Structure 1
Amino acid sequence: MTPLHTLHLAALSLLLLAAAASASTLAVAGGTTVCGVAADNGTVYCLDFASYSNSSASPIARPLVFSRVSGGDAYLCAVGAGGGDPSVLLCWPPGPSAQYQLRRVYRGAVPFSDLSVGDDHVAAYDSQERGIQWWRGGNSYPQFLPGAFTSLVSGDGFTCALEATNSTSPSSSTVRCWGPNGNTVQSAFANASSISSLAAGGSRACAVDSATGAVLCSGSTGAGAAAPSGLYPHGLAVGDSHACGLSRPNHTAVCWSLAGPTPTVYYPAPGTAFEFLVAGGNLTCGLVSVNYTVVCWSATSADNAAVELSALPAVLPGTCVPDASSCDCDAFPGSGQICAAAGSPGSVICKRICEASAPPPAASPPQPPPAAAASSKAVSKRWIAFAVVGAVGAFVGLCSIVYCFVFGFCSHKRIHNSVQPNLPAGGTGGNAPAAADNNVAAVAATASPYGSPNGSRARGFLFRRQLSRAMTRQRSGPSSFKDQTEEYTFAQLAAATEFFSPDAQIGAGSFGTVYRGKLPDGREVAIKRGESLARKFQEKESAFRSELAFLSRLHHKHLVGLVGYCEENDERLLVYEFMKNGALYDHLHPKPNLTIGDDPPLVSPVMSSWKLRIKILLDASRGIEYLHSYAVPPIIHRDIKSSNILLDGSWVARVSDFGLSLMGPSSPDSDDSAGAAVQQHVAMKAAGTVGYMDPEYYGMHHLTVKSDVYGFGVVMLETLTGKRALFRDAGGGGDPVSVVDYAQPSIVAGELGKVLDGRAPEPTPNEAEAVELVAYTAVHCVRLEGKDRPAMADIVANLETAFAFCEGSAGGNGSRDGRATGGGGYRNSSSSLSMTSMELSGRIGE
């Protein structure tokens, strides 16, 4: 986590560190989804409370490391832990398919120090710019509000925070609120004299006045009157119609209703001490102090009984800060080890409640009830059991390591369990020639894919990456992402393809021919068989290992799924999910009497629908963004083209063919001493397909993630114009023409209509806006220098906006720079949650 020493005022530093402590590592969204930041690895895991007894927790955006999470009615958001890498703010809707609907809201050098999600908006405190940023929420919130704020909270139509009113007195603060309901909520705290922490949920915000001990809540008169006395100021959680707090001195939970004629008070988990509570809808959850497990209860259940969510891993007890001097209270014992495991080495976690300085309640402190002692004994036995299991696990792990080195478990035979492709020591260096037309055969300049003659640079790079927690988790093999890849015999796959009948042939990939087949269990698959020529064996082997290694560990809705493989004698085969509707290339450039899929229509839907074309581009961009942004290190595909974008039976696009893929630098870009962006590259001789290859890579051998961006830009132009990447004019004479040279001048001149595919229908007004946005985005993607091209996250944001135009849900006249214009739901205008650095007007010709 980035230290806050850049702030000049000591008092202001204390305020911002307090803000970091107020952000939570546990959240409730949509009334039933519970998410927490795992203490052992920093991954966010989510669970549905409604089915907690028979469901498992799902990881979000693994292997990214997060520091805090917040939830609202419609979605959840999490802040990356930073740790020297660019920090991200991701959002996703609650539900089982969250991992396929992630949206990056922000990417920057400094993690946000506070975060809160309301019903339709997201707010975060930027400790570098010293102010609050908002996303979504229409025009009801400012984009950025400078100031020193702490305890950021959000509810239905409002965001509140504590603002410092005296720079020399960190404890001097006042409640400020914004949004449609902000003034109403703020008025409830007009006479509050000493508030150090806020909580919000539904239409209310609540706080404990540390001077009087009274609970103050906005909303109906007397909303906090039913609250018991003796609560910690930092222990509140507010739901739609209830609130809960932590009682002094034993940290147990007490809850009370905020609505109804007869407010009730209840104790959901007697004898259990909590570090903090969170709430959403009618659900409240707490982090148990003794073992950091999560316990939840519903305000609407008959007995308000608490249940432990055992499927969730132990959750971080707080956010990690640079050192103990940052804490107003003491640091948690052992928190240094917890932060190191969660991806923030050298950091600690501050206690939220200062026991020594907390004022005692009016009555003498009661002794903990017997239930607490019984609970502690039960937990102690549990920890003993954990220790025994851990010792056994450590012994088994040691044996596995010995087996790995003695029996060659990490050798070529088991490459599918490794994160990185097994590049040969010499020869091609992993650069296999693509088999498709116009592919360029490539031979690596050095043995190392990173350009070091003796490979030491590559080994040093990988060693440093292995020291990070994220990389260690990434190297755990494909089981952490998907089911184990199956191994088939050659006889099984030969039978599945009718002994590789020419009638079963459906295409070609980077190392062989692709056949359609049917497995004994009835599954239709695509089987790629490497060429059998002995002189091609090394090239085939490299492409085979590369594709098997990458696809064995990657799992995403928009990447082709690997079913299995065969490695028998000289035969190398890969088995994929069958994509019923073939490749995008075949729909854009159909051959006479070409069969696409089982029962093709007379005219392909791709040919006749701008909306479907843009949707296919959006799907593919999300798959490439996953490779660039969520793989550690990033993966560079190196052969992005329309024939490698496949379409399933539902017209969902997936990126395929990883035979040429390589791991890129750990950071896609960095800044030089003057602050200018510097692209990190891999020194590698060019490989790929003519017409789609990045000129910078082809001419200078500088391979970056922006090389894939160039290829995708060509695909976008190909989709808009209907022209091949390289084509000849109607007469068939002369030199081939690049679709970039053909389309770019007309788009820049504002004459897009001249180059649009004439076979497609005239775009509707909304589609015309969408097509124009795609065209200008494509022009940026094919700029000559990689540093001038957008990142894939920016491209995804623009394509989301374009697709929203096609659905008529973008609102108003849209936003040419990808920023929010307000309105709309999460799914329909998610592009408003995306920030893009692209300027789509005024600089196209520069």
Structure 2
Amino acid sequence: MTTPLPAVIAAFLLILFAVRPPPPSAHALGGTMAVVHGSATTICTITAQPPVQQIQCWRNGRLLPPILPNTSFDAVAGGRNTLCGVRSGGFSLLCWNTTFSPKRIYNNASAPLTALTIGDSQICALRNVSSADNAICWRENSTSSSHIPKNPQFRVISSGLRFSCGVNVENRVLCWGDDAISNSIQSELRNFSMLDIHVGEKFACGINVTGCIVCKGSNDTGQLNTSPFETARPFSAVAVGANHGCAIRKSTGGVVCWGGKGNGRFSSKITDEISFESIVAGPDFTCGLTTSNFSIVCWGPGWPSRYYSTGILLPLQKTLPGPCIDTACDCNVYPGSEILCSGNGHICGYCDFAASIPPFLQPAVVVDRSPSRGLRRSLLVFAIVGTIGGIAGIATLIYCLWPGICFGKKKIHNSVQPTMTAAAPPPSNSSPPSRSSTLRRQGSRLMRRQRSGTSSKHADKAEEFSFSDLLAATDDFSPENKIGGGSFGVVYRGKLPDGREVAIKRSETSGKAKKFQEKESAFESEIAFLSRLHHKHLVKLIGFCHEREERLLVYEFMKNGALHDHLHSKNNVEKSSSFINSWKVRIKISLDAARGIEYLHNYAVPPIIHRDIKSSNILLDSNWAARVSDFGLSLMGPEDDREYRPTKAAGTVGYIDPEYYGLNVLTAKSDVYGLGVVLLELLTGKRAIFNGGEPMSIVDYAVPAIMAGEVGRVLDGRVGPAEGSEGDAVELVAYTAMHCVHLEGKDRPTMNDIVANLERALAPCDDSHGSISSGPISIVSD
């Protein structure tokens, strides 16, 4: 039998244009929908549009309270009485039982997860690691990877009821678990070049490189009866249950289903004329995410009958069609991503390399149960690859030798060098803002096929330390080495084996379940933010340690400690006792701290709200430069000062924004309020809340005097009177502080305005020419 010429040409074009096959959809495995079965059927998804991409769940006809409502997730997957979610960035995997009691089973900032799947009881994931062994599995909450094939680099992974399979970088399927089933399916799929694979109970289905369905394994319930639509045009997604499968037609978005001992049992008139973005299967039913309004529809014989007649449209909020990321997409951006992601990145669409191949050249039938025919096709493809490879190799060799490209001598003409355009200039006198990836940008890899050549090692990647090393560095966390505290932790001074002095924050160890989420959130927030943010006025994270219940963070040691101690320590009584008893130094510290916060608000992508700006979180290095520290309460905030409402206010009494505390309205202006209190501390030397006969806030103490033009009356006597141009500078700082602590956020200045004022205030103290009053005060109410 001869192979038709169009098939040969099609194979040639597929090889030419799809040597690197398109990545699977971001929601194909462990995506934004999950089915939890067992004691109670539960459907969970990741919400679209709110700033926090939280997990929402439906069970027995009612919505459940959001899971970790202040935490963003990129992916969810479900199994028997188990739900797991990958936190934004991929570095942490949390799982819950039917009562939603949390348990973290993975945490590694240096190897974020890129895919997630759950079978009946087995949880498997892919990690972004340089080694070939990127798959990891857990069974019954303990690591068990002994059956995973050694040294493969998987692109896709799937766990079923009895076994697991993955597609490696060569598009070959490898399976493990139940030896009889997994070996049989792996053997049956050996002649197919696959893009995707999904595992059921005793069978597996996937999409090959031409976009068509291939199913192998047991056919005792008609799981392999895909012949009615084998000749259809390519499919974009597959979902497999215990004994059935469903797929989305690429051309229309419609769903076709098969299997389950009975023709049409898993099809439904409800899904007619509905276009779907993605689908996920339970043991004996299927759910899909609709294209029209991102709602969830479920159908099938196993779906509870009392919900079947209602149209099965679940009352969930809109669901994301894929994870929100901030890095460039391989091919195209999903339409409407900015709205769905609430401005926090975008969603990547499908890569369609075969779109340019004329339909009459696309192979119509690729599901071939004849081993001999599959072998002949494989030989044909091999011959074509060999011919093209030989020609390409010669051409590459000539190209390399001619200009010397392969030997590092290639010249790039100026006309093709990349350019960068900044939306706004960086703050003056500070290092250019690094637009490094934050937690959400780490998540760009999540649920997407790994791209060759895109992995890079960050020069400042956080190191991972053993607990024993940090125990030795702090002399068993002796009280003598205790130097302070932060959100949910105590800070110790330590010395690493290589001689580096560090500050080590040890989270409070507590077995109470209610403390788990807070401790976990603070620990992971610090890693997520500080390992990706780089600015000379932000404290530098060196590394971390996580062993058992211990969570420790290692920072660069700040020799001169916290600003709070210098202002309020009993030792700082006389003028000569502290270096900061100088208006020039205090204004410089104010400016340093403001520049750090300005970077968080204006240059971090997405913006970051610190939520706990206070003098004890402003540290001073050996040169007395100020750095903002402690990101345990920080949140990625909405852009353009839109309101954001966490479940409860967080911060420190005396520094917390009254609008945030009273009305639960959080914006970047909440950090402005905290900085305003710090400015008043620097001016007056008083604590945020002090005892003046009775407890009194520094705002109530200082603002009336500033408004009356009597700034000198409340200034810190340890520094001395501010006269001449220095007096003008201090007065400008005072008026800036007064505007920062307005009750309403809309009346407070932006960080840009604050930095501009403090720069002008510092200028005469540096013996610059000109007067403070030479320009307008940059206080702007939004």
TM-score by length of 1: 0.42
Larger radius of gyration: 2
TM-score by length of 2: 0.45
